[in-house]
Structures are given as C-alpha cells and as structure tokens.
Amino acid sequence: MNLKQRIIDLSSTMTVSGYESRAHAALREQLGGIFDEITTDAVGSVICTRRCGRAGAPKILIDAHIDEIGMMVTEILDGGFLRVLNLGGIDTRIMPAAEVCIYGEETIYGVVASTPPHLQKADEAKTLKPITELLIDTGYSRDKLEQIVSLGTPVGFVPRYTELLGGKITGKGFDNKSCAAIAAEAIASVERGALAGDVTLLLAVQEETTMLGGTTGAAGIDPDYALVTDVTFGETPDTKKGDAFPLGGGVVISLSAVTDRRLTARTVELAKEKGIGYSRSVEPTGTGTDANATQLTNCGIPTVVVSLPLRYMHTYHEMLSLDDAEALRALIAAFICDSRIAEDFAR
C-alpha cells in the first residue's frame, strides 16, 4: 500500500488513550494482510507478528504506541453542551472553535465553544480557559444527547488531512500512528526470508497517559532486542536548536543514557550504509518514549529509539514529511533484516 495512504488510514482511527480497544477491529482490518498473527494482550495492546520461517530465530520488537491524545466526557449540560477532561497533554491554545468527534452510542460531531470578539470583556483574549472549563456544542437537546453520550465517552479530534508543499501532510493522530503505519509498511516491504528474526510490531496502548502498553507488551513478547519508533519535535521558527529537527532531513536517532548505546551505534551505521538521512538527538535524561520502559523490561532488552520529526505535535494539524516517512520505513526495513545486529543481540 502507498505509505501516505497507510499513514492517513491508520491515523484516522479513534485511539484516544485508554480507549484503544475500540479500534481493534479497524487495526486488524487495516494490517491483517501483513502479519502471520495479530493478538491483543490483557491491557489492549495489539501484537502483530511476522515470522522469518526459521526455528529458534531471534525475536525482534518494533514498538510504536497506537494511542493518541484526546478527551473524555465529564458532564452533560442543558442545551446539548458537554464538558470534558483531557487524556494526554492537549494544548488548550488550539481548542476554541475546534471540531471534535464524540464517540458515544453513535459518533456525533461537536464544536468547541468560543467567544466572539464582540462579546468579550477587556483582556479576555489574552487568557486561555483550562480544558475543564471548555464547552462542546453538539447541537442536540440534552435529553437526546443523554441517549447517545454518557460520562466517560471518549472525544477526539475530527480527522482531516491536507497535503502541503514539498510532500508534507497535516492532520490528527500522526503522534504516533504515523510511525505505527510506517513500521507496518517496513515489515510488509521485505521478503519473509530476508528477515533476521521473527518480527513483532507492538501497537502499545496508553503511551500518552501511563506508558502501560509499552511496559506490559515488551514483557509479554520478551524480545531479544527492540527498536522503539515515535515522533519527535520538528523544527519551526519558535523551537530552539537541539530541541527540534528539520523536516525533510530523514529520521532522528536518539543518543540517550537509558537506551542501548551499542545498538544505537549499529543503527547509525546502518543508516549511513544505506544512505538514509538522519539527525542525532541528544537526550541525556530519557527519551520521552516507550523505550524508557522497554529497556528495563524482564531481564533487560537492548533498545534503540528512532523517531520521525513532527511539527505541531499534539494538535490536530500535526505535520510530517513523506520523505522522512520513507526514510524511517527504509531504516526499519534494514534493521529487521540485518543479520549482524541479530547475531550480536540475540540472547
């Protein structure tokens, strides 16, 4: 499948952190053709395995969290308005007048209320309301709304995707379903016989809230070594050097105190060998990804983090470069086929 379409299809699914199981059927449908086996674990992570066909081969884990930031309903008000709580870090600057999907008995549409300039008090425009004070307008009467929505109903952003100049696309859910889609395409893009081991793609739940799925998933799979793929900050005029990485420059490989430096060095070499563009991200205190957990799972799992630069993270117009997506696909494909890494990191 076309990489762009794979990214958009997967990112469009509703996987609000904690509610990922609602997307199980869609994930199986979208990814079923690629893997030999798709199972779910006790906490709802989706475990997709493709075997190399050799007995006793090492187990390679590719972790991509599947959840996205979102909200849940906390109150249903007269006039068909809802109040919500955030699940994961939502930027309240993007909320007024935003479009949302409310995933109740049926999926309904809502608009986050905003106050027009004509009706504002002095200086009101400089302030931001906390998310718990925002109102979502559903256009229903309260009675009808209560038949569709209940407290705890998940709420997400409306999936809308646009292609911009230079092969860049924007939309919701690229953190981290773009990486999940790219990893699936990487696994699909190589011959079974070329795999250096049995490859498991862990679509981990709750990275945005509790890091639960990365922890339990890696423990259950118990791989020989792992590559965690997640988004990182794309460079924009308001980011500082070192915090963010250019779009179009390829992947970002993390140099961290809590990931495996040997495996990281081998991954950098692999990128060089294959002519894949990369930047290096220096993250002494941790990676802000599932890798923090993966590395310490069971008896310890050597882990490398490879990221996709993403502008405007945690908004509904996250932006990525399809060139970078292809670079990430190529690097993951090379990683899972690399027999030298498999030899060195097999238990």
Partner 1 sequence: MNELKRIDLLRALCAEFGPSGCEGNVADFIEGQLRGVCETRRDRMGNVIAHLPGEGPRVMLSAHMDEVGMMITDIDDKGYLRFANVGSIDARVLCGRAVTVGNEQNQISGVIGAKAIHLQSADERKKATAVSAMYIDIGASSREEAEKYVDLGDFAAFASEFVEFGEDGQRLRGKAIDDRWGCAVAIETLRALAGKPLAVDLYAVFSVHEEMGKSGARVAAYAIRPDAAIVLEATAIADLPDTAAAAKVGEMGKGGLLSFVDKGTVYDAGLIDFALETARRADIPVQLKRYSAGTNDSAQINRAADGARAMALSAPTRYIHSGSCVADARDFDAICALLQAMLTEWKD
Q: Which residues bind partner 1 (CB under 8 A)?
A: 77-81, 89-94, 96-99, 108-120, 125-128, 133, 135, 137-141, 144, 160, 162-168, 170, 233, 236-240, 243-244, 247-248, 288, 311-317, 319
Amino acid at 141: S
Nearer to partner 1, 105 or 163 (CB): 163
Comparison of 36 and 163: residue with beta carbon closer to partner 1: 163
Which parts of 283-338 fold into alpha helices (H)?
A: 291-294, 322-337
Nearest residue (CB) to partner 1, 161 versus 346: 161
Residue with the two structure tokens 């106050």:
115
Toward partner 1, which CB reaches closer, 55 or 126? 126
**Shortest distance in whole angstroms from residue 37 CB to partner 1:** 35
What does the DSSP assignment read for 268-294?
HHHHHHHT--EEEEEETT--SSTHHHH
3 state SS of 126: helix
Q: How far is the CB of 86 from partner 1 (least distance, A)?
A: 10
Q: How far is the CB of 285 from partner 1 (least distance, A)?
A: 13
- Residue corresponding to tokens 């990128």: 271
Which one, of 287, 304, 298, lies nearest residue 216 by Cα? Answer: 298
| Residue closest to 212 by CA, chosen among 82, 30, 20, 70 | 20
Least CB distance from residue 217 to partner 1, whole Å?
Answer: 23
Nearer to partner 1, 164 or 194 (CB): 164
3 state DSSP class of 137: strand
Closest approach, Cβ 147 to partner 1, in A, equals 11
Q: How far is the CB of 136 from partner 1 (least distance, A)?
A: 11
Q: Which of 136, 133, 156 is nearest to 80 (CA)?
A: 136
| Cβ nearer to partner 1, comparing 115 with 339 | 115
Q: Are strands 168-171 and 225-233 parallel, antiparallel or unpaired?
A: unpaired
Nearest to partner 1 of 237, 275 (CB atom): 237
In angstroms, the Cα distances linking 236 to 38, 108, 176, 247 are 38, 34, 19, 9
DSSP codes joined into one string, 32-76: TTT-SEEEE-TTS-EEEEE--S-TTPPEEEEEEE--B-EEEEEEE
Task: Say if CB 90 and CB 43 are below 8 A apart.
Answer: no
Residue number, 5 or 162, with CB nearest to partner 1: 162
- To the nearest whole angstrom, how small is the minimum distance from the Cβ of residue 131 to partner 1? 11
Pairing of the two strands 107-112 and 70-77: unpaired
CB of 215 to partner 1, least distance (A): 21
Of 155 and 221, the one with the shorter C-beta distance to partner 1 is: 155
Contact 274, 338 (CB under 8 A): no
Query: To the nearest whole angstrom, how small is the minimum distance from the Cβ of residue 23 to partner 1?
Result: 23
